[in-house]
Amino acid sequence: MLTGSEMGVVDENAAALGVPRKQLMESSGNAVAQAVRAHADTGASVTVVAGRGNNGGDALVAARFLDDYDLRVLLLGRPETITTDIARENWDALQSAEYPTEQVGDASQFALGDPDLVVDAMLGTGISGALREPEATAAAAMTASDATVLSVDVPSGLDAADGTLADNAVDADHVVTFHDTKPGLSDLDAGVTVADIGIPEAAELFVERGDLRRLTRDPASHKGDNGEVLVVGGGPYTGAPALSAQAALRGGADLVRVAAPEPVAREIQGYSENLIVRPYDGDVLAPPHVDRLADLAADHDTLVLGPGLGDADATLEAVAALLERFDGTAVVDADALSVVPDVDTDADLVCTPHQEELVGMGGETSDDWRERADLVESFAADLGHTLLVKGPYDVVSDGERTRVNRTGNPGMTVGGTGDVLAGVTGALACVQEPRHAASIAAYAVGGAGDAVVDERGYGLVATDLLDAVPPALWSADADD
Ligand SMILES: NC(=O)C1=CN([C@@H]2O[C@H](COP(=O)(O)OP(=O)(O)OC[C@H]3O[C@@H](n4cnc5c(N)ncnc54)[C@H](O)[C@@H]3O)[C@@H](O)[C@H]2O)[C@H](O)CC1
Ligand SMILES: [K+]
């Protein structure tokens, strides 16, 4: 089952793969026409009631497949108010071909007549709230009529975000929905057909620009609403935690703090005035620090644990103890990964190993990315956590659902790119489900690396990625 907004992600991913929405609309329209044939004999009277969005567009396409019916096509509103180019192009095609179309200016002009079948294509996944006019009047007429009511995608008035049905929704006899069923359809007293509209499986498997649609930023948000990240890293190394923390800011987090041993804290601060550094005693993370860090972590949306911590026994012991105390979302990277298989934690972990680290954790890998995806999925299920396994094709799995990211290039084998990825994942995990955070982070950091290499060739360094992350996250072009 897919919600309306998930459908939007998949649909834009299909466009990114070369199957644009207009092509999908042609398939949808064809499927609507097939459903008409299934419920009305050739020659029967069929009235199409089209809204001004793409739901209406589907039915305007269907009209071209229904020449052997006694057809009427009603547009609710003026053609100038059609909201998308592809729906308007399909309206224009009906005009050029001189189909019998009518415009309904307002509710008082709506007259359904007495057709054998009515196609309800007023509103689909674009609805918000109860039906307004003239849709409300049209819906009441459809529901009151003797006609068979065939709804396109969802009955107009059903909100595919959560399955709620408006009081004035169309009472459909049949629904032809696209690609996958939608929330609320199974509760209806209507026959539901799911039509394949030619969306490739890859649109759901591969992370593509449609996934960026999940990113939103509330204009009314305050400092902190978009995430506070705590990076626990550093000791033997200083660059890694600084990279992760700066990447978390580039990933959209509002506040990023770094907890690090006192001797390296100043150096980490020196890399960027944007960071807040919280020093603790000693040269490396060790068990005595855990109490304070656990309290600090509880005040953050996500924890990024591992960058530059090193693998001293005391450090790994402290990592395990911290995870045992923590019940939020933590991105675990680098040396901290080795602790994960044996740790008992209520936290949601997003582990970001490369393939060697994966094997070190007890997982298996394969040169064939499809096999690798299966292996990662079953290992994620064993661990009970989300994995983001880095490679030429990154694999993200929560043990049930698995995605593959194809952005990135061989220039990114340079040191520090993993720290950037962990930081961006930590930022996104403040506002997204872990699996989406990991998928989008892999896509955007890979895309950032591709943009840098496109511009300047190989020889990129991890700091180059930082500036390139925001455009990779936020500036994808969407089409209709
Ligand atoms: N893969 C796909 O997802 C495909 C979907 N297709 C079809 O497109 C619709 C969704 O189209 P969209 O243009 O986004 O929205 P709608 O047509 O549902 O409606 C937009 C339209 O409605 C107005 N509006 C919103 N709420 C109300 C209301 N309560 N009362 C009245 N009017 C309202 C809003 O202002 C807009 O003007 C999807 O369902 C599929 O049918 C394509 O086939 C391509 C593939
Ligand atoms: K509809």
List, for residues 417-468, the tens digit of each pLDDT value. 999 999 999 999 999 999 999 999 999 999 999 999 999 999 999 999 999 9
> Which pLDDT tens digit goes with each residue over 211-240?
999 998 889 999 989 999 999 999 999 999
CA–CA gap between residue 241 and residue 261 (Å, rounded): 11
Ligand 1 pocket list (CB less than 6 A): 7, 11, 21, 24-25, 28, 51-56, 58, 83-84, 123-132, 135, 152-153, 178-179
CA–CA gap between residue 51 and residue 49 (Å, rounded): 7
Distance 183 CA to ligand 1 centre (A): 16
Distance 133 CA to ligand 1 centre (A): 15
Tokens 């999908």 appear where?
24
Distance 180 CA to ligand 1 centre (A): 16
CA–CA gap between residue 32 and residue 28 (Å, rounded): 6
Question: Which is it for strands 402-405 and 394-397: parallel, antiparallel or unpaired?
Answer: antiparallel
> Which pLDDT tens digit goes with each residue over 174-206?
999 999 999 999 999 999 999 999 999 999 999
Please give the average per-residue pLDDT across 319-341, as a whole number.
Answer: 98
Q: Look up residue 249 and give its DSSP letter.
A: H
Task: Using alpha carbons, select from 197, 219, 207, 43 the residue that is nearest to residue 124.
Answer: 197
pLDDT value, residue 475? 81
**Number of Cβ within a 10 Å radius of residue 312:** 16
CA–CA gap between residue 421 and residue 259 (Å, rounded): 19
Give the Å distances, CA to CA, from 185 to 9, 151, 260.
20, 11, 52
My answer on whether omega of the bond before 134 falls inside 30° of 0, hence cis, is yes
Residue whose CA is at the smallest distance from ligand 1 atom 25: 127
Task: Give 479's pLDDT tier (boundaries 50, 70, 90).
Answer: very low
Dihedral over alpha carbons 273, 276, 282, 287 (to 10 degrees): -150
Q: Containing H/E element for 69? A: none
Structure tokens at 331: 């991105």
CA–CA gap between residue 170 and residue 78 (Å, rounded): 22
The CB-side HSE value for 277 (13 A sphere, CA atoms) comes to 24
Residue list, annotated binding site for AMP: 418
Distance 189 CA to ligand 2 centre (A): 15
CA–CA gap between residue 464 and residue 416 (Å, rounded): 10
CA–CA gap between residue 318 and residue 322 (Å, rounded): 6
Structure tokens at 20: 């644009």
Mutate to test the pocket of ligand 1, among 10, 55, 89 (most ligand atoms within 8 A of CB): 55
Structure tokens at 375: 């292996």
pLDDT value, residue 476? 61
What 3-state DSSP class applies to 74? Answer: strand
Task: Using alpha carbons, select from 210, 261, 209, 221 the residue that is nearest to residue 238.
Answer: 261
Ligand nearest to the CA of 49: 2
ipTM for this prediction: 0.98
Residue whose CA is at the smallest distance from ligand 1 atom 15: 126
Mutate to test the pocket of ligand 1, among 24, 54, 165, 199 (most ligand atoms within 8 A of CB): 54
Residue list, annotated binding site for K(+): 55, 120, 156
Structure tokens at 395: 């694999």
Structure tokens at 314: 């005391």
Mutate to test the pocket of ligand 1, among 13, 28, 81, 123 (most ligand atoms within 8 A of CB): 123
Please give the average per-residue pLDDT across 260-271, as a whole number.
Answer: 96
Residue whose CA is at the smallest distance from ligand 1 atom 44: 25
Please give the average per-residue pLDDT across 95-124, as a whole number.
Answer: 96
Q: Does the pLDDT of residue 364 top 60, yes or no? A: yes
